[in-house]
A and B are shown apart, each in its own frame.
Chain A
Amino acid sequence: MESQANENRVWKITGRTRHRGGALPENWRDLLASRLGQRPRRIGMLAELALYGALDCLDDAKEITMPEDVVLRVCSLQGAAAAIAQVLEQNQTELPMPFSFLQSQTSQLLPALAAALKWQGDAGIVVARDRVALALLAARQAGPNGMLLGWVEELPRRSDWLRLAQCAAQPDNFTAAKSFDEMTSNDIGYWRLSKAGIEIAPVEN
């Protein structure tokens, strides 16, 4: 049976991290502090990276916060690796420092994001190596206001984000996406969910 929810729904890529696929700016932490109005306190490297990328992406989408029903999904294969290693080390001789333990929890980036955006909604950490499959999974769950998707790693530092929202436009030149890089390239403006997966269409000129 193939009566899939969201099938044929068209999503417009309304925002993306501007460094996507490349290295973060050297001064990304200064830029984040400037964007937040203060340096984030004790949230850990992974959460700071997530904040930097998500806010950059939403700035690109010209959104200060998000509608309540946006689906927020983050993938991090390594998680908060530095903090995890620190807690493992501390555990050899004593209880870890409380903030070290908090920062070792990858999911702590979710409340950090929610607080920075003054938003409460459906957010989660979902991990797989197949990035197309993760995007497809999120697209099957997203409502009309769409999704914010992030891939965040500490080493090498990356924080790639996409903001997609449902749109009424129906470009007539959809083709099957061959790879995640193709799906997220700057030339692509639209995704559509099909029985076979995600189809893509170029940005309108």
Chain B
Amino acid sequence: MRAVYFQGRGLVSSLGVNLSEALKSLAVGGKEPKRVNLPGGTDWPFYTIENSESDWRKRAQQLICAVAEEAGVTATLAKRPDIPLFIASSSLDIGAIEAESGALGDSYDFAQDVAVWLKWKGPVYIVSSACTSSLQALLTAEKLVSSGAVDDAVVLGIELPNRFSISGFASMQLMTPGKPKPLGAGRDGIALGEAVAALHLSNRSARWRMCGGSNIVDGRDPTGAVPESVARMCQQALAASGLNPSDIGLIKLQAAGSPANDVNELAGMAAAFETMPPLISLKFSIGHTLGASGAAEIALLTACLEAKVWPKTDYAHDAEIRYELAAEMPVAPRYILADILGFGGGHSAVILEDTASQLKGSQ
């Protein structure tokens, strides 16, 4: 099996039109979510990308093409036109269907739009397994590259504005009326956000190596995390990566600010890690970007670690949860576990290696 690296990455989010802008924004405290009004008179926080295009599909095209460019995908396609593309999304183009009052097509129509926008010639797959979509897509892409079936693969996490997701989560009473507080005292729900993220995987050496991961669907709770499966997800990801719990120097949590799910996630982590590594959540900074969240948060986290920009929170942590988010960036973590949990009983994790870290065995 071959090593697999992130050859490129890109992100457009509420923090900015690319990763460089996102880091600048984070360095000065990040951005506040906007408000979205829904029929019936309620309004909810939403982490919105600043873009003035009013046509949903034109806006989507602009954002997706910009992210592909940032990740270097456009240049790679000129040399390797048959790369597989994995589009990871929960809501696909439901925002366009709402805006156009159009008929429902089939879900692959959106994949064909994206392929046309990017002039994509290789195979295109949609992974739509709710919040874990991006990490599932990454695991699939990693398998193809590590096995030698392909030399390159691209994961595109796409979650763009729509009332469908916001109203749905609001109807289930999962949304905070304010700002999410992952692991925070008085946390009262999640806030959604939009993002487009690209991760370009290849067998060519680069700073970030994807070591392995795991994906577990557990039907015992169709809307949230089961501690036992969180622990097993970690154990399987470590085994797939040939690592021990003590090798992990940082965990990027799902932690979205849910009263129950944050507790369940940490209970599972505590079962898998005798000594808990430093923790980070990015939901306070960009919201929960659903199917795009795995790719979006990995793109942002790796950029933060390279630039030594550490997202800050402004709320008190919940004393009843034994663990807090790290106030400062850990010193050169070599191995990082990133997980996403969610709707559909999904529990997914990947482990990344920062090959620039010189602290092998000393964490």
Closest to B163 in A: A91
| Contact in complex: B124, A121 (CB < 8 Å) | no
Q: Which of B97, B147, B217 contacts A88 (CB 8 A)?
A: B97
Q: What residues of A have a CB within 8 angstroms of the CB of B148 in the complex? A: 1-5
Per-position binary interface string of chain B over residues 89-108, scored 1 when its CB falls under 8 Å from any chain A CB and 0 otherwise? 01000100110000010111
Closest to B221 in A: A111
Per-position binary interface string of chain A over residues 103-119, scored 1 when its CB falls under 8 Å from any chain B CB and 0 otherwise? 01111101111111001
Q: What residues of A have a CB within 8 angstroms of the CB of B346 in the complex? A: 107, 110
Do most interface residues of chain B lie in helix, strand or loop, or is the interface mixed?
mixed
| Contact in complex: A127, B126 (CB < 8 Å) | yes
Q: Which of A77, A107, A120 contacts B218 (CB 8 A)?
A: A120
Residue among A5, A114, A116, A123 having the largest count of chain B Cβ atoms under 10 Å: A123
| Contact in complex: A111, B136 (CB < 8 Å) | no
Closest to A134 in B: B125
Q: Which of A76, A94, A97, A107 contacts B40 (CB 8 A)?
A: A94
Which of chain A's residues 110-165 have a Cβ closer than 8 Å to chain B? 110-116, 119-130, 133-134, 137, 140-141
| Contact in complex: A5, B104 (CB < 8 Å) | no
| Contact in complex: B40, A140 (CB < 8 Å) | no
Do most interface residues of chain A lie in helix, strand or loop, or is the interface mixed?
mixed
Closest to A84 in B: B104
| Contact in complex: A96, B168 (CB < 8 Å) | yes
Q: Which of A105, A111, A130, A137 contacts B217 (CB 8 A)?
A: A111
Residue among A3, A6, A113, A122 having the largest count of chain B Cβ atoms under 10 Å: A122
Q: Which of B140, B169, B216 contacts A137 (CB 8 A)?
A: B140
Q: Whole-angstrom distance between the alpha carbons of A3 and B149 in the complex?
A: 7
Closest to B144 in A: A140
Q: Which of B108, B219, B222 contacts A127 (CB 8 A)?
A: B108
Closest to B151 in A: A1
A-B contact count (CB 8 A): 174
| Contact in complex: A111, B94 (CB < 8 Å) | no
| Contact in complex: B147, A128 (CB < 8 Å) | no
Closest to A133 in B: B123
Which of chain B's residues 126-185 have a Cβ closer than 8 Å to chain A? 126-130, 132, 136, 140, 143-144, 146-149, 151, 163-164, 167-173
| Contact in complex: A78, B149 (CB < 8 Å) | no
Q: Is A95 among interface residues, defined by CB-CB distance under 8 A?
A: yes
Q: Whole-angstrom distance between the alpha carbons of A96 and B214 in the complex?
A: 33
Which of chain B's residues 1-59 have a Cβ closer than 8 Å to chain A? 1-2, 38-40, 42
Q: Is B330 among interface residues, defined by CB-CB distance under 8 A?
A: no
| A5-B143, A133-B123, A141-B143 as given contacts; A124 in contact with B136, CB under 8 Å | yes
Q: Is B333 among interface residues, defined by CB-CB distance under 8 A?
A: no
| A1-B151, A98-B171 as given contacts; A121 in contact with B217, CB under 8 Å | yes
Q: Is B220 among interface residues, defined by CB-CB distance under 8 A?
A: yes
| A127-B107, A128-B108 as given contacts; A84 in contact with B94, CB under 8 Å | yes
| Contact in complex: A122, B143 (CB < 8 Å) | no
Q: Whole-angstrom distance between the alpha carbons of A93 and B41 in the complex?
A: 9
| A93-B39, A94-B39 as given contacts; A110 in contact with B217, CB under 8 Å | yes
Q: Is B310 among interface residues, defined by CB-CB distance under 8 A?
A: no
Q: Is A203 among interface residues, defined by CB-CB distance under 8 A?
A: no
* Min CB gap B68→A, angstroms: 20
Q: Which residues of B contact A (CB under 8 A)?
A: 1-2, 38-40, 42, 90, 94, 97-98, 104, 106-108, 111, 123-130, 132, 136, 140, 143-144, 146-149, 151, 163-164, 167-173, 203, 214-223, 229, 232, 343-346
Known: A5-B149, A125-B128, A129-B108. 20 other contacts (CB 8 A): A4-B149, A5-B148, A6-B147, A77-B106, A77-B107, A79-B128, A88-B98, A88-B104, A94-B40, A95-B42, A97-B171, A101-B171, A105-B90, A105-B130, A107-B343, A113-B219, A114-B218, A114-B345, A127-B126, A133-B123
